[in-house]
Structure 1
Amino acid sequence: MSSYSDASSRPGTSDPVQPPGAAVDPGPPAGQTTGPDDSRRVSLLLGLLFGLAGMGSSSAAVAIPLISEDFGVGPGTATWVISLYALMLAVTTAVYGRISDLVGIRWPLLFGVSMMTTGALLAAASPSFELLLVARLLQGAGAAAVPTLGVAVLNGRYSGVSRGLALGRLAAVAAAVSCLGPLLGGLIEHQLGWRAVMALPVLGLAVVPVLWHALSAEGSGARLDLLGALLVAVTAAGAVLLVQSPSTGIVVAVTGAVLLVLGTPVTAARVRRKPHGFLPLAVVRNGAVVRSASAAASVPAAWFALLVGVPAVLVPRGWEPWQVGLLLVPSAVMAFAVPRFAGPMIENRGPRRSLVVSTAIATVAMLVAASGAGLVAAQGGAVGPALIGVGVLLVTIAFGLGQPAMSAAVADAVEPDVRGVALGVATLVFLVGGSIGSAVVGGVGAVLGVGWALAILALLPLGGLAVLARRG
């Protein structure tokens, strides 16, 4: 496998630094000239938009205990608010990439942000838990446009050093705003209630007009495999339903099992029948792509698990949501710092070794956070919350390193003509990990306790290490 520096020098390969959870456009064609010198403003605005989309999960997480109380559902059931959002974010991320090939970036981004805004408003006004879940599905499906198309804007508009700096700014701003979501959400909840927290992402709609001139309106005419996308969504949903079923009963478990058992072979048959469809056969059969995406998926699993788990542990112990958010502020500061060392590490050590470091950090993070949750449940005091805060800080580092390392590893493993598709598929797997992480806390945590759920999730990064150890 060639070095990361070699990969990043080729036309169309991803930059060293990418924002957490973003699908990566294959980049401008060889010989493209650098775009207008507005990269700082455009990248900062895109980072803000990306961060507001991320608040759809990070700020909503602190409201989970209150949603549970208001609607009379168990805490495990209430975490569906996060799990379904993360699932739709994962599955529709790659869909937006294909749609942008058809019609360019401008209208899909406007459509996605409008859908995100509509979903957020419906969530804020939902009179029942069932309607809240529907609103969150809509919100997640819309928010997926932002990570996918935001990076595509920078890759298509800039090149060389300008593009690398722009992607770095987007990453830092997006991660920091997302990490500040629990604090902002807690403060707003304290003053206005949890419904106002659910409406926070509507602010993203105000950013789009300012970016309008920077968005491409030209497409290449590529075809969209809607059936393939639907089959992937159904199969992934089955996995999430099955994982979270301990908190929701046998009907959910059976539904998840049926979707997973039937969806897997049908999806596999679709890939064989349509080798250039939503899941291209050349990508699915690429061992390096599969290993990198599978291993990296354990990192968002840890991140989303802590988003749900931290409020679930601390709020019942008398913590206000804004206090939970304050505990996570150091993670927001760290988010700004991670891009400074992530890029050089990937370049000097290679993407595979960087992924190993990321998954190892995620393992330690989950064990530290699990220990903290156990101490809080057993005796209270300050040590447990401090350990939880350290766990979140470590997961922030793992996230900021793992996503760009995965992108680099995948980009290095495929031919240029399928690089964009391969990165989209890898990002889909990456984000499905997030929905599974929150589902484990909601399902297993409701039965065994959040501490044990976090400890069990520490096994996922270990599995990622084992996957990365395989060659060929």
Structure 2
Amino acid sequence: MSTLVGLLFGLAGMGSSSAAIALPVLARDLDVSTGVSAWAISLYALMLAVATAVYGRVSDLVGIRLPLLVGVGLMTTGALVGALAPSFGVLLAARIFQGAGAAAVPTLGVAIISSRFHGTDRSSALGRVAGVAAAVSCLGPLAGGSVEGLLGWRVVIALPMLGVQLLPVLWRSLPTDGSGARLDLLGAVLVAGTAAGVVLLVQSPSTGPLVAAVGAGLIVLGTPAVAFWVRRRPHGFLPMSVIRNPAVVRSALAAAAVPAAWFALLIAVPAVLVGQGWQPWLVGVALLPSAVTGLLAPRVAGPLLSRVGPAPSLALAAVIAAVALGVAALGATLTSAVLLVVAVVAVTLAFGLGQPALMAAVGDAVEDDVRGVALGIATLFFLVGGGVGSAVVGGLSGPLTMPGALLLLAGLPVLGLLALAANLRREPGPDLAD
């Protein structure tokens, strides 16, 4: 079960990692600049982030089976339309739908594991999910480079369609029970819009002041609107019991730095190496050690969670992510393939540790009736971090240079450690009785 969920998660992540390799060819074919083509990654990551909490809440209401079917269906349709897109505008629209569908996988996948496993078994299962997902996602550059060379970039965009084949295998194991309560749609829209504003504002240097104004406006209007709506609807889309839970908030803020580093390097490293004349398939081969790391990460993540608990595991992931970004910045400065590959290996390990640690921290901190939405909100923070990472590389690598953008991102894990400090002081030891 955990391996299948990890494969589905990995195919959703491959929507970014494989497409990143094809960006230069895609940009040439559709007559846009490489900087503008990066929106094909950023918009996918943005929708992957903002739609996660929606699926989490819907799963609380109607069970997991129906929302997962809808999500995988959207991901498949978006991938197909993107592969057939006659223009860059159509491609971006398809990527939005593809990301909105793929967003079902992280939250609902973790909800499946949380409903079937408990205690140390849950930690081990979450570790396997993250490890398989990271390995499949990190195979994206190799798959994307190889497929692009043989069949073109359009087939690369279509690769996530493979996920639909896993649904029949998982179908009977998917919970169908929910509370039947109504979805707070306005709350979902307010949260999604505010999160979108963050990514748009960061990405705006590559596209001009209009996008910056839209992003800033969404943040300025959305932040107080979300606060007002939460006070008015304490049991709505953002339950007060979840967002006032310090363990959930601190863990989510700290964990967000890890996908920021991961998404950033999945774009930055191929961009630097292809810019030095590497063929896309060679970049994929060079990144194979990171896929191996993704497979081995569960052997570390599960025992680490059982031994030291979620907060120290998150702290270790943040430290590794910061070091990886520093190494990548040096590698980009020296155009050293070795340093760049080492950085991706390190950040893959950080992802393999951080994602299950976040899910374990949140799952243990909330009651069963809001676990789905709590996991969705945590995943929202987690993947908004990914959107910010890709936006920084796409938007700021021009004015700051690629090494400068990566060094700027290295500050996020430090801020994450500061947010996590209280959890590190207060977290009890693991409950071995489970």
TM-score of the superposition, structure 2-length normalised? Answer: 0.93
Q: How does 1:388-399 map to 2 (within 5 A)?
A: 388-399=340-351
Other-structure match for 1:18: none
Letter in 1 for 2:291: A
> Structure 1: which amino acid aligns with 2:288?
V
SS in 2 for 1:114: helix
Return the alpha-carbon distance in structure 1 between the equivalents of residues 377 and 221 of structure 2. 21
Other-structure match for 2:389: 437
Contact 1:75 1:446 in 2 (8 A): no
- Per-residue CA deviation, residues 21-42 of structure 1 (Å, 9 max, x unaligned), is xxxxxxxxxxxxxxxxxxxxx3
Q: Distance in 1 between matches of 2:184 and 2:83?
A: 33
Which amino acid is 1:182 matched to? P
**Alpha-carbon distance in 2 for matches of 1:181, 1:135:** 19
Report if aligned partners of 2:193, 2:222 keep a CA contact under 8 Å in 1: yes
TM-score when normalising by structure 1: 0.85
Does the 8 A contact of 1:75 with 1:312 survive in 2? no
After superposition, the C-alpha distances for 1:100-157 in whole angstroms (9 at most, x for unaligned) are: 2333222222211111011001111111111111111100111111222223333334
5 Å-filtered alignment, 1:53-64, equals: 53-64=12-23
Distance (Å, rounded) in 1 between the aligned partners of 2:373 and 2:164: 28
Once residues 394 and 161 of structure 1 are traced to their aligned partners in structure 2, the CA distance between those partners, rounded to angstroms, is 25
Select which of 96, 114, 122 maps to 1:155.
114
Structure 2 residues not aligned, in runs of 5+: 427-434
Q: Do structure 1's residue 105 and structure 2's residue 64 form an aligned pair? A: yes
Deviations 1:213-262 (A, max 9, x none): 22233332132111111111111111111101111001111111111111
* Whole-Å separation in 2 of the counterparts to 1:316 and 1:84: 23
Q: Does 1:92 align with 2:70?
A: no
Match of 1:447 in 2: 399
- Matched residues in 2 for 1:250 and 1:309: separation? 24
Q: Does 1:229 align with 2:188?
A: yes
- Paired residues, number: 424
* 2:103 aligned partner: 144
In 2, Cα distance between equivalents of 1:385 and 1:393? 12
Any idea what SS the aligned residue of 2:58 has? helix
1:292 aligns with 2:244: no
The structure 1 residue matched to 2:92, chosen from 109, 133, 142, is 133
- 2:7 is matched with which residue: 43, 48, 72? 48
3-state SS, counterpart of residue 276 of structure 1: coil
Aligned residue identity for 2:380:
L
Aligned to 2:328: 369
Q: Which residue of 2 aligns with 1:462?
A: 414
| Displacement of 1:45 | 2.7
Give the Cα–Cα distance (whole angstroms) in 1 for the partners of residues 364 and 62 of structure 2: 28
Give how far 1:163 is off: 5.5
Q: Is the 8 A contact 1:44 1:173 kept in 2?
A: yes
Given that 2:256 and 2:385 are in contact with CA atoms closer than 8 Å, whether structure 1 keeps it comes out as yes
For residue 170 of structure 1, report the CA deviation from its aligned partner.
Answer: 3.1
Change (3 A) 1:299 1:168: closer
CA apart distance, 1:70: 2.3
- 1:149–1:470 CA distance, 2 compared to 1 (3 A): closer
Structure 1 residue 452: deviation in Å?
1.2
Asked if the contact 2:126/2:302 (under 8 Å) is kept, the reply is: no
Q: Which has the higher helix share?
A: 2
Rounded Cα–Cα distance in structure 1 between residues aligned with 2:89 and 2:307: 49
Q: 1:335 to 1:66 in 2, by over 3 A?
A: same
Q: Deviations over 1:406-462 (max 9, x none)?
A: 223333444454444323211111110000000000010122221211111111111
1:357–1:154 Cα change, 3 Å = closer
Query: Cα 1:154–1:422, aligned 2, differ >3 Å: closer, same or farther?
Result: closer
Q: Deviations over 1:44-71 (max 9, x none)?
A: 3332222212211111111122222223
- Maintained 8 Å contact 2:321/2:346: yes
Report the counterpart of residue 224 of structure 2 in structure 1. Answer: 265
2:362 maps to what in 1?
A: 410
Q: Hey, what does 1:379 align to over in structure 2?
A: none
Matched residue, 2:262: 303
Q: Distance in 2 between matches of 1:300 and 1:248?
A: 23
CA contact (8 A) 1:100 1:108 kept: yes
Question: CA–CA distance in 1 between the matches of 2:263 and 2:97?
Answer: 19
| 1:319 partner SS | coil
Hey, what's the Cα distance between the residues in 1 that align with 2:59 and 2:11?
A: 21
Aligned pairs for 1:145-184 within 5 A: 145-157=104-116, 166-184=125-143
Matches of 1:393 and 1:331, distance apart in 2: 4
TM alignment of 1:61-72, pairs within 5 A: 61-72=20-31
1:345 Cα deviation from its structure 2 partner: 1.8
Equivalent residue number for residue 283 of structure 1 = 242
- Determine which of 8, 20, 33 is the counterpart of 1:74: 33
Q: Is the counterpart of residue 217 in structure 1 residue 169 in structure 2?
A: no
Q: Are residues 1:422 and 2:374 paired?
A: yes
Taking the aligned partners of 2:289 and 2:213, their CA distance within structure 1 comes to: 41
In the aligned structure 2, how far is the partner of 1:341 from the partner of 1:277?
37
Say what the alpha-carbon RMSD is for the aligned residues: 1.9
- Matches of 1:166 and 1:290 in 2, distance apart? 23
In structure 2, C-alpha distance between the alignment counterparts of 1:258 and 1:240, rounded to whole Å: 12
Question: Structure 2: how far apart are the matches of 1:344 and 1:255?
Answer: 45
1:333-372 equivalences in 2 (<5 Å): 333-372=292-331
- SS of residue paired to 2:180: coil
Relative to structure 1, is the Cα distance of residues 447 and 394 closer, same or farther in structure 2, using a 3 angstrom cutoff?
Answer: same
CA shift at 1:189, angstroms?
Answer: 0.3
CA distance in 2, matches of 1:164, 1:360: 21
Q: How does 1:198-209 map to 2 (within 5 A)?
A: 198-209=157-168
Cα 1:416/1:216, change in 2 over 3 Å? closer
- SS state of the match for residue 51, structure 2? helix
Paired residue secondary structure (1:223): coil
Distance 2:196 2:34 in 1: 20
C-alpha separation between the residues in 1 aligned to 2:169 and 2:379? 27
Gaps of 5+ in 1: 1-41, 377-383
For residues 135-191 of structure 1, give each alpha carbon's deviation from its aligned partner in whole angstroms, at most 9, with x where no partner exists: 111001111112222233333345577656554443332221111111011100011
Partners of 2:71 and 2:100 within 8 A in 1: yes
SS in 1 for 2:297: helix
